[in-house]
Amino acid sequence: MTAPDDDRERAAAARAEVRRVLGAAVEEKASDAFCLAQQRRTAARAVFGLELLSAPRAAQAAATVVEFGTPSIGEGVAALGPDDRTRLAAAARAVRRAVPDDVAVSPHGLLRQALVASARTARYQLVSPVYDEIERLSGGVLPPGPEVLGDPQIPTLVTQVCWLNGTLRTWAGPETLAEVAADAAVTGLDVPHRLMPDAPPRGHVAIGLKGFRGRRRSTGTGVTVAVIDSEVALAHPALAGRVVHRRNYTAEPWGNPDAHGTAVAGIIGGSDPDVGVAPGVTIYNYKVAATNRFLNGDDFAGALALQHALEDGADLANCSWGVRRATAVPSREARAVDEAAAFGLTTVKSAGNQGPDAATMTTPAEAATAIVVGATDLDGTAVPAYGSRGPAGTRPGPDVVAPGATPDAPLVGALVSGGFGPVGYGTSFAAPLVTGVLAVLLERRPELLPAELRQWVRDHARPLAGIPEATQGQGSFVAG
């Protein structure tokens, strides 16, 4: 294992090389990861130098994430007072009377559409000059990574914008980046980081689901949940007719259902009462992970999936994945979570499976607005060693813990083959339990905002004796 001093020395040397070759503007805004990646590519070109003299070799394009400061939208939906909500509800009723009966209209959707339109325009205006310059200098011919092929939202082959968190992913070369880095709107240069799933019926009992559903008499009907995960099996009988394969951000085509995404979706919305929580929900599946994890999307793709879920009108987003260990500096994906919350989209995030050490929660768990869920055993009485602990950013720990099972007693869930069986364990499977409960709640109370939903979850937790807040948050989640 490399010593920290060696890491710092290597990063400093790479940063000095970037400054010498690409200039001060690039070095000042570049992350250590960007500098090290540039150094590796320079070394690779040197190794192949003699070969290039005898036979031309196409340069391998590498992705860079360009970061921008984003214009503030203020408090967004949090700024609404009771009178505002009343007027918005009245407007929604008026619109509902004017459209066909089978067209859903909600105050939440009307507000989101107005806020999104304004912020999206402002942020595209901020990014556009740099975007255009990259396109002009690159000539629009560089190949993107395979995870974006076929996406109808890509205007060219070189760049892709996530307005939600103010980032741009490009396959332009270092010379082009050196030209645009001096732009005052550019605040950082980094490399994408691959995301990974956070995973290596007694759980329903532990959270009191039967009593909760009985009192609510709701199934999540009319609620849309974004499952940002691997591919969900469309043909599973417990999910059939309620899953939409919305967008793919991986290098693997649709048609390759995966165990992780199918299990997560089955917990949220499976129609089997011993597995699913909200059997009436509609699930929009955003594919960010593949059956071969080397083909997974990256952190930019995760943020882009949140943006698209927001634009598609999802009410909740379940993110049972992480990228890196969260730090005091919010990650790009955490910024996307918080921005989406300002427009009304609630994100439920798994804490991660890197415990038992402190400060092991995975990004975007540091997002201030995310509902972060750690794991317990199936009975909801003990926190397994694998569960990630806080702190993460300003968070002392997760919000709550919920049944995620253990290696000795795995969770039973929906299988890709169509039946039910052991699906493993992890905080990946604790988070969708909470997501499903919130879908049931939102059917009856669609006016609840992200901060209110997070507080509701925290209020419905039972502290576990002798376990620190960094490990259990407010305690074991109990809906009933």
- Write out pLDDT tens, residues 61-117: 578 999 998 887 777 877 777 777 777 777 777 776 777 877 666 666 777 788 888
Higher pLDDT among residues 218 and 289, named by residue:
289
pLDDT of residue 6: 79
Tell me the pLDDT tens digit for each residue of 119-128.
999 999 999 9
pLDDT-based confidence at residue 159 (cuts at 50, 70, 90): confident
Query: How confident is the model over 130-146, as pLDDT tens digits?
Result: 999 998 887 755 555 55
Indicate if the pLDDT at residue 21 is higher than 50.
Answer: yes
Residue 207's pLDDT is 52
> What is the pLDDT, as a whole number, of residue 87?
77
pLDDT above 50 for 258: yes
**pLDDT for the residue 154:** 40
Q: So what's the pLDDT on residue 149? A: 47
Q: What's residue 151's pLDDT?
A: 44
Which residues sit opposite 350 in a β-bridge? 373
| pTM score | 0.87
Predicted pLDDT of residue 36: 92
Higher pLDDT residue, 234 or 211?
234
Here the tokens at position 432 are 């969708």
178-189 CB burial, b ≥16 within 10 A, e <16: bbbbeeeebebb
Of 12-16, 169-173, 353-357, 394-398, where does mean pLDDT reach its minimum? 169-173
- Tell me what pLDDT residue 208 has: 55
CA distance 431 to 376: 11
Q: Is the pLDDT of residue 15 over 70?
A: yes
Query: 176 CB contacts (<8 Å, ≥6 apart)?
Result: 134, 137, 138, 170
Q: Say yes or no to pLDDT of 411 above 60.
A: yes
Contacts of 478 (CB under 8 A, 6+ apart): 206, 207, 208, 380, 460, 461, 462
In percent, the amount of the chain with pLDDT more than 70 equals: 85
Three-class SS state of 234 = coil
Q: How many CA atoms lie less than 13 Å away from 381 in the CB half-sphere?
A: 3
| Mean per-residue pLDDT of the chain | 86
DSSP H or E stretch at residue 337: helix 332-342
Name the token pair of 395: 């968070």
**What are the b/e assignments for 223-248, b being 16+ CB within 10 Å?**
bbbbbbbbbbbbebebbeebbebbbb
Q: Where are the domains of the chain?
A: 13-71+115-190, 196-477
pLDDT attached to residue 213: 55
Residue 435 has pLDDT above 50, yes or no: yes
Report the percentage of the chain scoring pLDDT > 90: 61
**What is the Cα–Cα distance from 474 to 480, expressed in whole angstroms?**
16
Predicted confidence at residue 51, as pLDDT, reads 41
Return the minimum-mean-pLDDT range out of 131-135, 204-208, 343-347, 469-473. Answer: 204-208
Residue 52 reports pLDDT greater than 70: no
User: Residue 450 — pLDDT band, cuts 50, 70, 90?
Assistant: very high
The mean pLDDT value for 35-64 works out to 59
Torsions phi, psi of 142, nearest 5?
Answer: -70, 140
Q: What single-letter amino acid sits at 104?
A: A
The pLDDT, as a whole number, for residue 82 is 76
Average of pLDDT values for 216-234?
Answer: 90
Assess contact for 278 and 439: CB atoms under 8 A: yes
Burial 364-387 (b: 16+ CB within 10 A, else e): bbbbebbbbbbbbbbebebbbebb
Contact 322, 427 (CB under 8 A): no
pLDDT value at residue 2: 56
Residue (of 473, 396, 432, 430) closest to 318 by Cα position = 432
Distance CA 390, CA 416 (A): 33
* Beta sheet of 346-350, edge-to-edge order: 243-248, 282-287, 224-229, 316-319, 346-350, 371-376, 400-403, 476-477, 461-462
Mean pLDDT of the region 214-236: 88
pLDDT at 172: 87
Token readout for 137 is 């200098």
- Asked whether 228 and 308 are in contact (CB, 8 A), the reply is no
Per-residue pLDDT reduced to its tens digit, 299-325? 999 999 999 999 999 999 999 999 999
Under the banding of pLDDT at 50, 70 and 90, the label for residue 155 is very low
Q: How far is CA 460 from the centre of its chain?
A: 24
- Report the CATH architecture of 196-477: 3-Layer(aba) Sandwich (3.40)
302 burial via Cβ count (<10 Å: 0-12, 13-18, 19+): buried
